[in-house]
Amino acid sequence: MSTTTHTFVPEEFDASTWGALEPHYSDLQSREVTTREELEAWLLDRSDLDAAAGETRANLYIRMTCYTDDEQAAGAWTAYLDEVPPKLKTATFNLDRKQADLLKKFTERGDRLDLLAKRTINSVELFREENVPIETKLAKLDQEYDRVCGDQLVEWNGEELPIARMSIFLQDSDRAVREKAWRAVSSRRLQDKAKIEDIFDEMIGLRDEAAKNAGFDNFRDYQHKRMERFDYTPDDCLRFHDAVERHVVPFKRELDARRKAALGVDTLRPWDMACDEQGRPPLKPFTDGQDLVEKSREVFSRLDPGLAELFNSLGDNMGPGKTGPTDLDLDSRKGKASGGYQYERPRSKTPFIFMNAAGVHRDVETMVHEAGHAFHSMLCSHRPLGADRDYPIEFAEVASMTMELLTLPHWDVYYPNEDDANRARRSQIEGSVTTLCWLVTIDAFQHWLYLNPKHTRDERAAYWRTLQERFGGSESWEGLDDELSYMWHRQGHLFGVPFYYIEYAIAQLGALGIWVNSLENGVDSALVEYKRALDLGGSKPLPDLFEAGGVKLDFSAERVATLIDAARAETAKLPG
């Protein structure tokens, strides 16, 4: 298939109205396709159109999340959700149905379009017209959740600070400061408890209805198929939960015991879990978003010239008072959605990185993580078919998490003091393993939520608490029942992208595997495999992508135990 730029859609094209899109979708729907060559041309035209539609959606979403308090940005996103996706979903289904028939007619077993055929048929089987308005309602509810979170400010020493900027005080060496900050953040979040519970209750009901409309007993099984999890099952996920409980939780609690002894406290409390256990002040890797960009440029320059060139192409941070155009909006501020993401604009093939930097070490992790996603988008951008650039989430997260680990030798750029650099490296390695506990907690929570959609709020809170007993740390939550019961409110994935979380855990094992390969065979060898896998995009099945990266799709208990042993061995080499 040709790799030349395809221009079925005009170069300057605004897809924010259905009137602009409809003639192009009608053209594809009515076009006669009688040969393999005509099929390939049709697929390229469809990719061009889908990319143009996706570009507009990306730009509207980016603007809305960057400025949740901008009525024009919010209104444009809401107007788009009302008009375009409902009609676009139906048009997409009709094209999928035609595409499935054409692929059956003009391909044979073993064809390079096999995976595309499998994904298309899956999409056709799941589509239900009555679910289109449900998905629109869910998107608006997610927007409302973002708005609620974007409005959350904490009164702190005479200032109003976004919650993200409170993280520095949670790392203070003074326990009283940490407790005050932690309680201030928790109290502010709990002020919106009823609003968020209302949003989530409605989401649960709508998702269950959508699953039943598609002929499924529950939303979990529907979403598993919808997310194209062709290579593992819900039961595999449950076994993975057990593996983490068996091997990772004891490791996490060992670290907690070390923390408790080092801090010299009788009982660990939630505000003791983010500070340095030796009482050192919080790490300060950068001053603001632009400083983070410049230091990250140096890190990638040292790691790999090719990756450095890709990162440098993103330009400068938007920064306070700037409005773009830009590929980076990094600083935390009032009226900005929480969290972080990388969003590829599929027609221009340019990534956008969004985060809420507050000058803490966690921001370094987020920066290199989202940069890994951007590398993925750019390295596979040469593939002409959009479907071949649409990589599975499980490997998308390998791309990002691997960067958190392969950049470790160069973290002296952020931390010129070697003790600080080693402290950050140890934290990253240990965190890469112990984060599996949180990841499977969120996944296990979702299994229960959607297998029991008629649950009450009290039952939901109670089940969440049982998961903390199963996968949580050693800190005491005495007297903090509400803070514990509604801690999950901060996890945006539960609201906007249900069941998108186990992918992080599966991918973490892949990233740890690539990192172990870099220790055993050299980082240059690991980078060759890493970039080779990213270049494939979504053109191969998930196991093949892992294999291209030099690892296996394996989340067995044995594999989990092996990677923990490697992490133990490496951290043992690091002082402090």
Out of 105-109, 294-298, 525-529, pick the least confident: 105-109
Q: What confidence tier does 459 reach under pLDDT thresholds 50, 70, 90?
A: very high
What is the model's pLDDT at position 323?
57
What is d(CA 408, CA 425) in angstroms, rounded to the nearest whole number? Answer: 6
Task: List the structure tokens of 420.
Answer: 């600080």
Question: Residues 141, 145, 146, 147: is their CA dihedral positive or negative?
Answer: positive
Q: What confidence tier does 324 reach under pLDDT thresholds 50, 70, 90?
A: low
pLDDT digits (tens, 9 = 90+) for 111-139: 999 999 999 999 999 999 999 999 999 99
- Average pLDDT score, the chain: 94
Give the residue from 545, 505, 502 showing the smallest Cα distance to 223: 502
What is the model's pLDDT at position 3?
43
Q: What confidence tier does 325 reach under pLDDT thresholds 50, 70, 90?
A: low
What is the model's pLDDT at position 2?
43
Q: Which residues have CB under 8 Å from 381's CB, separation 6+? A: 349, 389
- With a pLDDT cut of 90, the percent of the chain lying above it is 90
Burial class (CB in 10 A: 0-12, 13-18, 19+), 36: middle
Q: How far is CA 20 from the centre of its chain?
A: 31
Q: What is the mean predicted confidence (pLDDT) over 102-117?
A: 92
What is d(CA 273, CA 9) in angstroms, rounded to the nearest whole number? Answer: 52
At residue 155, does pLDDT exceed 50?
A: yes
pLDDT digits (tens, 9 = 90+) for 246-268: 999 999 999 999 999 999 999 99
3-state secondary structure 387-424: HHHCCCHHHHHHHHHHHHHHCHHHHHHCCCCHHHHHHH
What is the model's pLDDT at position 339?
85
Q: What is the mean predicted confidence (pLDDT) over 360-372?
A: 95
Element (H, E) at 516: helix 502-521
At residue 6, does pLDDT exceed 90?
A: no
Q: What is the mean predicted confidence (pLDDT) over 539-550?
A: 97
What is d(CA 564, CA 356) in angstroms, rounded to the nearest whole number? Answer: 30
Angstrom distances, CA of residue 322 to CA of 250, 288, 345:
47, 14, 20
Alpha helices for 67-153 (secondary structure H): 71-106, 114-126, 132-150
At residue 418, does pLDDT exceed 90?
A: yes
pLDDT digits (tens, 9 = 90+) for 383-408: 999 999 999 999 999 999 999 999 99
What is d(CA 337, CA 441) in angstroms, rounded to the nearest whole number? Answer: 24
At residue 4, does pLDDT exceed 70?
A: no
What is d(CA 494, CA 223) in angstroms, rounded to the nearest whole number? Answer: 13
What is d(CA 352, CA 483) in angstroms, rounded to the nearest whole number? Answer: 34
Alpha helices for 214-276 (secondary structure H): 219-226, 234-263
What is the model's pLDDT at position 91?
95
Q: What is the mean predicted confidence (pLDDT) over 219-227?
A: 97
At residue 320, does pLDDT exceed 70?
A: no
* Coil, strand or helix at 344: strand
Centre a 10 Å sphere on the Cβ of residue 158 and count the other Cβ atoms it contains: 5
Give the residue from 340, 126, 113, 109 showing the smallest Cα distance to 229: 126
Residue 328 φ/ψ, nearest 5 degrees? -140, 130
What is the 8-class DSSP label of residue 545? Answer: H
